[in-house]
Amino acid sequence: MSSLDRREFLRYCALGLGALIGGPVLAACRPRPSPTPAPGPSFTPIPASPTPGSPATTPSSTPSASLTTVPEYPHLAVARGGEPEDLVRRAVDALGGMGRFVRPGNDVIIKPNICVAYHTYEYAATTNPWVVGALVRMCYEAGARQVRVMDYPFGGTPEEAYAQSGIAEQVRAAGGEMEVMARFKFVETEIPEGLDLRQCAIYEDILKADVVINVPIAKHHSLARLTLGMKNLMGTIWDRPAMHRNLGQRLADLTSRIRPTLTVVDAVRILTAHGPTGGNLDDVRKLDTVIASPDIVAADAFAATLFGLRPEDLSYVRAGATMGLGRSDLENLRIAEV
State yes or no: residue 27 binds another protein (CB under 8 A): yes
- Residue 246 vs residues 240, 253, 299, 319: alpha-carbon distances, Å: 12, 11, 21, 11
Question: Could you tell me which residues come within 8 angstroms of residue 104 by beta carbon, excluding any fewer than 6 positions away?
Answer: 36, 40, 142, 143, 144, 145
- From the list 43-51, 207-215, 255-263, 276-284, the region that binds another protein by CB under 8 A is 276-284
The 68-87 contact track toward another protein, x by CB under 8 A, reads --------------------
- Burial class of residue 182 in the structure, from the number of CB atoms within 10 Å of its CB (0-12 exposed, 13-18 middle, 19+ buried): exposed
CB of 173 to another protein, least distance (A): 20
CB of 30 to another protein, least distance (A): 9
The 225-264 contact track toward another protein, x by CB under 8 A, reads ----------------xx-xx-x-----------------
**What region does 271 belong to: left with phi over 0, alpha with psi -120 to 50, or beta?**
beta
Near another protein by CB under 8 A: residue from 32, 34, 55, 72: 32
The half-sphere exposure of 151 on its side-chain side, counting CA atoms within 13 A, is 33
Near another protein by CB under 8 A: residue from 129, 194, 278, 294: 278
Question: Could you tell me which residues come within 8 angstroms of residue 138 by beta carbon, excluding any fewer than 6 positions away?
Answer: 88, 89, 92, 98, 102
- From the list 2-10, 95-103, 166-174, 191-199, the region that binds another protein by CB under 8 A is 2-10
Beta-ladder partners of 269: 286
The count of chain residues that interact with another protein, using the rule CB under 8 A, is 52
CB of 244 to another protein, least distance (A): 5
The 204-223 contact track toward another protein, x by CB under 8 A, reads -----------------xxx
State yes or no: residue 35 binds another protein (CB under 8 A): no
CB of 167 to another protein, least distance (A): 15
- Return d(Cα 254, Cα 265) in angstroms, integer: 18
Q: Which is nearer to another protein, 245 or 310 (CB)?
A: 245
- Return d(Cα 90, Cα 77) in angstroms, integer: 8
Do 111 and 213 meet the contact criterion of CB atoms below 8 Å apart?
yes
Near another protein by CB under 8 A: residue from 50, 96, 143, 279: 279
The half-sphere exposure of 336 on its side-chain side, counting CA atoms within 13 A, is 19
- From the list 80-88, 113-121, 133-141, 296-304, the region that binds another protein by CB under 8 A is 113-121
Task: Residue 67: name the closest of 45, 50, 98 by CA.
Answer: 45
The 156-185 contact track toward another protein, x by CB under 8 A, reads xxxxxx--x--------------xxxxxxx
- From the list 28-36, 79-87, 91-99, 292-300, the region that binds another protein by CB under 8 A is 28-36
Which of the 8 DSSP states describes residue 105?
T
CA dihedral 164, 262, 246, 150 (to 10 degrees): 30
H or E, element range at 64: helix 63-69
Binding site for another protein (CB under 8 A): 1-6, 8-9, 12, 16, 21, 23-25, 27-29, 32, 116-118, 154-161, 164, 179-185, 221-223, 241-242, 244-245, 247, 274, 276-280, 283
